[in-house]
């Protein structure tokens, strides 16, 4: 035997109203979850592997190269997350030892900016070249698009050393077919007075840019990074 019980019309309406609204909520929740997951999956992440120039030595956390660069990119409509993989004092050998785990599964691109400490220490350019070559080889094996950022060697060790060092970056960029930005601090080198530049845009050690110096560097390099990000869309 079956029983049939009919709710009064106003109760039926209430039940239907509740069910319909619950359905809408479930549909919206599913939609948001889908698009939220899609947005997360589509998020572009670029690791910046480098030394103290990348790490932001001597600067507040939000004034270093990586946060300023990320801010520049966002202001110019480039939705990208940057990972600060800079370690103060690191050489090309140190970067090579870290690149494998730096390029985690969520990393879509790499900015490689190492060699300044090699040059300051007078490390044989052939050693620096070998380390950077091996680092780029690992990136290529993923494969991860790269922006290779060079640095100008000081003249302390003579013109021959300087020339050999300068030749490393364009040669490797051509070998691996990666994007190339010739000199990390080019924006500061281009300023007319070295004395005034050191006073206004560098920290007291005359090696590391201050926040204003970093801003100039970011403004000059930003378009190259935006171009790298565009290849990852």
Q: Which residues are catalytic?
A: 52, 205, 208
Q: Which residues contact 100 (CB under 8 A, 6 or more apart)?
A: 138
Q: How many CA atoms lie within 13 A of 191 on its CB side?
A: 17
| Closest-CA residue to 92 (of 25, 36, 149, 173) | 149
Q: How many CA atoms lie within 13 A of 75 on its CB side?
A: 10
Q: In what side-by-side order are the strands of the sheet with 44-50?
A: 80-86, 44-50, 109-113, 146-149, 179-181
Q: How many CB atoms lie within 10 A of CB 145?
A: 18
Q: How many CB atoms lie within 10 A of CB 74?
A: 12
């Amino acid at each position: 035997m079956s029983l049939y019980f009919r709710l009064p019309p106003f109760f039926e309406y209430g039940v239907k109203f509740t069910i319909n609204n619950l359905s809408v909520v479930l549909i919206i929740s599913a939609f948001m979850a889908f698009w939220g997951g899609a947005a997360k999956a589509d998020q572009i992440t670029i690791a910046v592997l480098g030394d103290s120039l990348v790490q932001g030595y001597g600067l507040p956390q939000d004034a270093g190269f990586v946060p300023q660069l990320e801010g520049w990119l966002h202001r110019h409509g480039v939705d990208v997350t940057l990972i600060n993989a800079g370690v103060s004092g690191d050489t090309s050998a140190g970067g090579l030892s870290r690149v494998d785990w730096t390029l985690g599964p969520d990393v879509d691109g790499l900015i490689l900016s190492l060699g300044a400490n090699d040059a300051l220490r007078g490390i044989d350019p052939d050693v620096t070249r070998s380390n950077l070559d091996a680092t780029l080889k690992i990136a290529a094996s993923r494969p991860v698009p790269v922006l290779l950022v060079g640095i100008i060697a000081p003249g302390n060790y003579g013109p021959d050393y300087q020339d050999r060092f300068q030749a490393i970056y364009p040669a490797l960029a051509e070998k691996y077919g990666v994007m190339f930005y010739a000199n990390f601090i080019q924006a500061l080198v281009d300023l007319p007075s070295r004395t005034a530049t050191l006073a206004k845009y560098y920290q007291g050690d005359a090696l590391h840019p201050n926040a204003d110096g970093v801003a100039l560097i970011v403004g000059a390099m930003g378009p190259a990074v935006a171009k790298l990000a565009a290849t990852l869309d």
